[in-house]
Structure 1
Amino acid sequence: MNDRTRDAPPPSNWNLPNALTVLRILLVPVFLVVLLAEGGTEPTLRVWAFAVFVVAMVTDWVDGALARRWDLITDFGKIADPIADKALMAAALIGLWMVGTLPFWVPLVILVREFGITVLRFVIIRWVVLPASKGGKIKTVLQTVAIGLMLLWVPVLIGLPAIGVAWTVVAWLAMTAAIIVTLVTGVDYCVKSYRLVREAKAA
């Protein structure tokens, strides 16, 4: 790192990655309105809810990639990005429960883990910063795929009943895998946090 890079002012919060993060937050209520309309049983609205969810998840990938590539990582982005991610996942899981696609225990288990780890990060930040793990990224992918399959479950059952059973099995396999990885990575984060904090205190 040269002196010019070291002395450069921090990037402005007014940038494209942060704008995409804000867009993702704004899409959360739009997604919920579309999903919950007509009790979640109208196939076309479920497809639209799926489309909004996909757009929101794409912004999650794009804003992070742009922030790293253009060196536009800001304090606002560090705070707003995980809030946007958690808000979208919570809205999707709770919304799917409200329309009867998921039983209550599924969003309960996943969200307790998600928000529990977020709280843990804030608690230990005075000693260490808990980095994201490869397992955490796999967890996010599995959750995204499972939610996408669940969102399209009603349109498939009504429009393509011949593959409805297979779709249901695949969707639940994906959701089961997401739940297992979510719990395993949650335990792993707790163990790593304990070890890192103990080492930081000893040092």
Structure 2
Amino acid sequence: MTAGAAGTADSTPPQAGVWNIANVLTLTRIALVPVFVWLLFLDGGGWRLAAFAVFAVASITDKIDGDLARRRNIVTDFGKIADPIADKALTGAALISLSVLGELWWWVTGVILVREIGITVLRFVVIRYGVIPASKGGKLKTMLQVIAIGLFILPAPFELDPVRWAAMAAALAVTVVTGLDYVVQAWRLRHQGRSRAGGGAGAGA
């Protein structure tokens, strides 16, 4: 009986520790944010290229750490919290910096940041009823934001401006649409959760 219990315990997969490769990559992305901002504000095309390189590397780690966490089964509560914070820190810092430099309208930065922060807060508000999963639209939104921001960071002739603004317009549109979709999902999740709670109370009574 003891041996059987021990065998059962041994077969249970160990809990992933906080210090794993996925979380290290997430922390690296956060650490690269101030480096990226510093390089972006330096004069000269060479520094601008360096800022673009840092932004690209940081953005790539977002894809890598998520894939590693799922593939190696090392998803942690810390990673679930730190990963979106790292994403918002990188894109938020880039958008604000570009607006400070006068290269991106402030209202564009404002709309995107309000959506990103608002949806993050909304997830925590309705977490008692369930988790709002990341949608394909959300992943498309992230990809378009990275491409648009990257084009604005990349030093290029003014002839590329229409491409930059077209990419940013697409990113902005998808950002707003997916934000509204998350609000609808949150409302449904909250409504269903309250309905279940009400039904349970009625059955118990």
TM over 0.5: yes
Q: Tell me the secondary structure at the aligned position of residue 156 of structure 1.
A: coil
Residue matched to 1:75: 77
Q: Distance in 2 between matches of 1:15 and 1:133?
A: 26
Q: Which of 177, 183, 186 is the equivalent residue of 2:176?
A: 183
Q: Distance in 2 between matches of 1:102 and 1:139?
A: 18
Is 2:41 the partner of 1:36?
Answer: yes
**Unaligned runs of at least 5 residues, structure 1:** 158-163
Q: How does 1:67-146 map to 2 (within 5 A)?
A: 67-146=69-148
Is 2:204 the partner of 1:202?
Answer: no
One-letter identity of the residue aligned with 2:106 = F
Deviations along 1:46-96, whole A, 9 cap, x unmatched? 111110000001111111111100001011111111110000010110011
Q: Which of 1, 10, 23 is the equivalent residue of 2:28?
A: 23
The TM-score with structure 1 as length reference comes to 0.90
Displacement after TM superposition at 1:8 (Å): 2.4
Considering only CA atoms, is the larger Rg found in Structure 1 or Structure 2? 2
One-letter identity of the residue aligned with 1:147 = I
Question: Contact 2:126–2:189 at 8 Å: present in 1 too?
Answer: no
Q: Distance in 2 between matches of 1:54 and 1:104?
A: 23
Change (3 A) 1:119 1:43: same
Displacement after TM superposition at 1:9 (Å): 2.6
Aligned residues: 189
Q: Distance in 2 between matches of 1:75 and 1:45?
A: 36
Is 2:173 the partner of 1:168?
Answer: no
Q: Tell me the secondary structure at the aligned position of residue 128 of structure 1.
A: coil
One-letter identity of the residue aligned with 2:136 = K
| Runs of 4+ in structure 1 over 3 Å off | 3-6
Q: Distance in 1 between matches of 2:31 and 2:10?
A: 34
**Unaligned runs of at least 5 residues, structure 2:** 1-7, 197-205
Q: CA RMSD in A?
A: 1.3
Q: Distance in 1 between matches of 2:195 and 2:104?
A: 45
Q: How does 1:55-74 map to 2 (within 5 A)?
A: 55-74=57-76
The TM-score with structure 2 as length reference comes to 0.89
Question: Contact 2:42–2:48 at 8 Å: present in 1 too?
Answer: no
